[in-house]
Structure 1
Amino acid sequence: MPFKIPTRLLAALLLSGVASAAVAQDAIRPDQAVRFAGQSGMVCGKVEKTRYAENSEGQPTFLHMGGAFPRHTFSARIPQDQRGNFRPTPEELEGKDVCVLGTIQRDAGRAEIAVRSPADVKLATIK
C-alpha cells in the first residue's frame, strides 16, 4: 500500500529535483513493493546494502532496500553498462535514502526494478 512521504524525505525530494514525480505518484515502501508487481512505481527507502555481482551474468549491481541482504524485500538492479554513469557511485548510495522509478517486477518473492539509467535513481539529500 502506498504511504505518505515523511516531511524530511519530501523536502529532500523537492530539493533533489524529484518534486514532480513525488507529487504525481505515491511513494511505495520497499516492503510493500511486491504488491505492485507489473506496475510502474516509485519505491523509496534506505539503501541497506549495495552488491556488485561481477561473477553473475550481466555483472549487475544491486541496491538492496527493505532490510539487509539476503533478507531484503526490494532491489534496484543496475546493469553493468550503466554502472559507470552513476554519480554518486552505486556503492556511495549505501546508507542513503533514495527513490527508484520504473516497472516493479517480482524476483524470487521479492520486488525489483531494472534500472535503465541513473535518472531512474534519485538521491534524497537535505541541503
Structure 2
Amino acid sequence: MIHRTFRLTALLILGACACSASAQDAIRPEQASRHVGQTGMVCGKVEKTRYAENSEGQPTFLHMGGAFPRHTFSARISHEQRGKFKPTPEELEGKDVCVLGTIQRDASRAEIAVSSPGDIKLAQIK
C-alpha cells in the first residue's frame, strides 16, 4: 500500500512539473516566426477576428501580436471547424488564448492551421 501511495504521489508531482514546463514553453506571437516548422504553443491576446467568407475555404482568422494588418501571428480555423467552437471565434476577440499546432509561414507572418477546437485554450497570461 505504501509503495502504491508513493507511486501515485510521484506521478502527481511529475504531472505538475510537466504542466509548468509547458507554460514556460509558450511562444509569444511576435516570436512564432522563429519556430516555423515546429510544433508549439503560441500564447497571446486575440487582437482581432476575421471571418473571410468570400475567400477560398471561408477560413476564420484569430490575429495576434498586434492589430490587423500588422499582426505577427494568426490562427486559421477552417470553415468545417468554425461551427464547433464554443465560445465562437468572435467571442475570443480580446481574450488571451494559447494555440497548439505546427507553426507555418503565411506570407510574412507565422500561422497555425487549427485542426479542432481543442487546439485553442483560454489562457492566463501574466
TM-score between both structures, scaled by the size of structure 1: 0.80
Give the Å deviation of 1:125. 5.7
Aligned residues: 108
Residue 22 of structure 1 deviates from its aligned partner by 5.5
Partner of 1:77, secondary structure, is: strand
Q: 1:21 to 1:120 in 2, by over 3 A?
A: farther
Q: Higher relative contact order at CA 8 Å, sep ≥6: structure 1 or structure 2?
A: 1
Please tell me the root mean square deviation across aligned C-alpha atoms, in Å: 1.8
Q: CA deviation at 1:111?
A: 0.2
Any conservation in 1 of the 2:43–2:123 contact (CA below 8 Å)? Answer: no
Unpaired segments ≥5 residues, structure 1: 1-18
| Stretches (4+) displaced over 6 A | none
- CA distance 1:21–1:40, shift in 2 (3 Å): farther
Residues 107, 78 of structure 1: CA spacing in aligned structure 2 closer, same or farther, 3 A cutoff? same
Deviation readout 1:46-84 (Å, 9 max, x if unpaired): 000000000000000000000010000000000000000
Q: What secondary structure does 2:31 align onto?
A: helix
Distance of 1:31 and 1:68 partners within structure 2 = 12
TM-score normalised per structure 2 = 0.81
User: What is the match of residue 45 of structure 1?
Assistant: 44
Residue by residue over 1:4-58, the C-alpha shift from the partner in whole angstroms, topping out at 9 and shown as x without a partner, is xxxxxxxxxxxxxxx9566336000000000000000000000000000000000
Identity %: 81
Structure 2: runs of 5 or more not aligned: 1-16
The residue that corresponds to 2:21 in the other structure is: 23
**1:100-115 matched pairs, under 5 angstroms:** 100-115=99-114
Higher helix share: 2
